[in-house]
Amino acid sequence: MARDAAAWVDAWGTTVNVKPTEADQRACRSRRTPPSDRILASAKCLFFSLGYDAVSIDAVVKAAGVSKATVYARFQGKDHLLRCVIANECQVLSASECLGGLDALGVRRALTEIGTSYINTMISGGAISMLRLLSCRSVRLPESAQLLYDTVEGRFVHAAAECLERAVKSREINVSDTWLFATYFIGMVRGDLRTRALLGFDIHHHVDEARRSVGETVGLFMKSMK
């Protein structure tokens, strides 16, 4: 059964522990928003709050205040809607944590920046919601799954690997496979945070602790590469 906009906010807060942005709420409710944007905003609110299986095209139609013909004129169906929602959210996540300028920092500072940015991205409501939505659909939507991996994890592994390459060239560390060690580093920073978040546990205390301990993690990691 479709829910009204106020109920989406409640469900969002309960299910994913985040609230829709003001922009999402305005896009869902304002008839001045272009139909495609209104459809996507409504689909996002419904997918994130109710899950993929519980959402129908009819629910999106009702939430967006458009006709079914309008939806199908722009989107091929529910899978296509989900792909577009994922693509939009990945753009937002990529813009929210900038990894530029790391080559001007020392290896310890750069790894600290990467680790902190990774935590901020990984535990954001959008990232967790997308991981939940795609966990059982990655085979059917491989491009979306790859995009999400690249956004939430892959780009941080890549940034860490580049940082380690520079450190190897300057002889600060001695490792033969910088990509492998970069994955180790991201895994050390992540710990069990992602699992806790995916299972719906309250992770606020653990997130604060992880942010505070990034420096210690970097120090321990650097010692392992001497």
Which pLDDT score, from 0 to 100, does residue 11 have? Answer: 34
Integer Cα distance of 226 and 221 in angstroms: 9
Find the mean pLDDT for residues 198-217. Answer: 81
Find the mean pLDDT for residues 124-144. Answer: 83
- Please check whether residue 84 lies inside any domain of the structure: no
Which pLDDT score, from 0 to 100, does residue 194 have? Answer: 83
Number of domains in the chain: 2
Integer Cα distance of 226 and 215 in angstroms: 17
CB atoms within 10 A of CB 106: 13
Q: The domain containing residue 69 runs over which residues?
A: 5-75
Among 139, 138, 118, 120, which residue's Cα sits nearest to residue 130?
138
- The helix/strand/coil state of 137 is coil
Q: What CATH number did the domain enclosing 70 receive?
A: 1.10.10.60
Which pLDDT score, from 0 to 100, does residue 8 have? Answer: 35
Which pLDDT score, from 0 to 100, does residue 28 have? Answer: 61
- Contacts of 83 by beta carbon, 8 Å cutoff, 6+ apart: 141, 143, 144
Among 114, 93, 222, which residue's Cα sits nearest to residue 159?
114
Higher pLDDT, 97 or 187: 187
> Does 149 lie in the same domain as 49?
no
pLDDT in tens, 141-151: 899 899 999 98
The conformational region for residue 77 under phi > 0 = left, psi -120 to 50 = alpha, else beta, is left
CB atoms within 10 A of CB 42: 29
What single DSSP character describes residue 104?
Answer: G
Tell me the average pLDDT of the chain: 81
The conformational region for residue 134 under phi > 0 = left, psi -120 to 50 = alpha, else beta, is alpha
Q: Place 137 in a pLDDT band, splitting at 50, 70 and 90.
A: confident
pLDDT beyond 80 at 10: no
Read off the pTM: 0.77
Which pLDDT score, from 0 to 100, does residue 9 have? Answer: 34
What amino acid is encoded at 220 in this protein? L
Higher pLDDT, 226 or 130: 130
Find the mean pLDDT for residues 90-109. Answer: 82
Which pLDDT score, from 0 to 100, does residue 1 have? Answer: 33
CA torsion sign for 47, 126, 139, 80 is: positive
pLDDT in tens, 12-51: 333 333 455 556 655 565 667 788 888 999 999 888 888 8
Find the mean pLDDT for residues 95-122. Answer: 85
Tokens read off for 62: 């009702």
> Does 205 lie in the same domain as 107?
yes
Contact (Cβ atoms closer than 8 angstroms) between residue 137 and residue 131: no
C-alpha distances in Å from residue 140, one per residue of 21, 105, 128: 28, 41, 19
> Does 121 lie in the same domain as 178?
yes
Integer Cα distance of 153 and 182 in angstroms: 11
- Please check whether residue 95 lies inside any domain of the structure: no
> Does 185 lie in the same domain as 135?
yes
> Does 108 lie in the same domain as 59?
no
